[in-house]
């Protein structure tokens, strides 16, 4: 087997460290030990830690792009698309209580090289563009009731999901995330006939 796999393994392990510890709380040594190589070998693939970070976000953008394309291909109902989208975040929490890669890097923002920041922003914009399209389609079909522009709703949704992950993670309580999701989705989806009041408790 070619050793090209090493590069992928380094990326995989590094991504897990970023998502659980943050970009500044893991070292080449941590990655090397988990991969079973020496730190010098990591530098062979990624000259600097910043380059590793950039590659990490670039790869992540590709993966997310493919995942969103798969959702588009498999689902037609905007509500189902949205549910699948939210599940991506939920499953990240489920596997090792990880934070979203981009959310974590957003926290590390001020310590990151510009090239990582650029890639990070593009990643957020990818999410925003996809979600905006889904919300617009849902608005036109009557699946969603938006009180603001689809773009604004998309941004709020992303922000809320990131924040919900961040806090639920710190409580090690995925229920906190799911509660937020229910509230978020409940506000978008018009109630067919009954309730929608404010006088319960």
Residues interacting with a second copy, by CB under 8 A? 20-22, 24-25, 97, 99, 103-111, 117, 120-121, 124, 139, 144-149, 152-153, 155-156, 158-164, 166-171, 176, 179-180, 182-184, 186-187, 190, 196, 198, 201
* Torsional sign, CA 55, 59, 64, 66: positive
Burial category of 182 from C-beta neighbours within 10 Å (exposed 0-12, middle 13-18, buried 19 and up): exposed
Residue closer to a second copy (CB basis): 41 or 160: 160
CA dist 42 to 37, 39, 62, 108, Å? 8, 5, 22, 22
| Residue 30 interacting entry, from a second copy, DNA, none, C-beta within 5 to 8 Å by type | DNA
Residue closer to DNA (CB basis): 31 or 68: 31
Which residue, 18, 42, 7, 197, is CA-closest to 92? 18
Binding residues vs DNA (CB under 7 A): 2-4, 6, 26-30, 36-41, 43-45, 47-50
Q: Report in angstroms how near the CB of residue 43 gets to DNA at its nearest.
A: 4
CA distance 113 to 36: 27
CA distance 103 to 109: 10
Residue closer to a second copy (CB basis): 74 or 141: 141
Q: Report in angstroms how near the CB of residue 197 gets to a second copy at its nearest.
A: 9
| Residue 43 interacting entry, from DNA, a second copy, none, C-beta within 5 to 8 Å by type | DNA
């Amino acid at each position: 087997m070619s050793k090209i796999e090493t590069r992928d393994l380094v990326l995989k392990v590094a991504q897990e460290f970023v998502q659980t510890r943050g970009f500044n709380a893991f070292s080449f040594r941590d990655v090397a030990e988990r991969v079973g190589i020496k730190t010098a070998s990591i530098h062979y693939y990624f000259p600097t830690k910043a380059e590793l970070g950039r590659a990490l976000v670039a790869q992540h953008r590709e993966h997310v792009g493919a995942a969103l394309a798969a959702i588009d291909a498999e689902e037609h109902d905007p509500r189902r698309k949205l549910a699948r989208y939210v599940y991506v975040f939920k499953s990240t929490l489920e596997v090792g209580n990880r934070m979203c890669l981009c959310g974590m890097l957003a926290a590390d923002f001020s310590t990151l090289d510009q090239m990582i920041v650029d890639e990070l922003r593009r990643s957020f914009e990818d999410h925003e563009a996809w979600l905006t399209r889904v919300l617009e389609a849902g608005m036109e079909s009557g699946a969603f009731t938006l009180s603001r522009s689809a773009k604004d709703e998309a941004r709020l949704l992303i922000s809320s999901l990131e924040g919900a992950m961040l806090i639920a993670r710190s409580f090690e309580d995925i229920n906190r995330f799911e509660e937020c999701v229910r509230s978020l989705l409940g506000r978008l989806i018009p109630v067919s006939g009954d309730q929608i009041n404010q006088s319960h408790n």
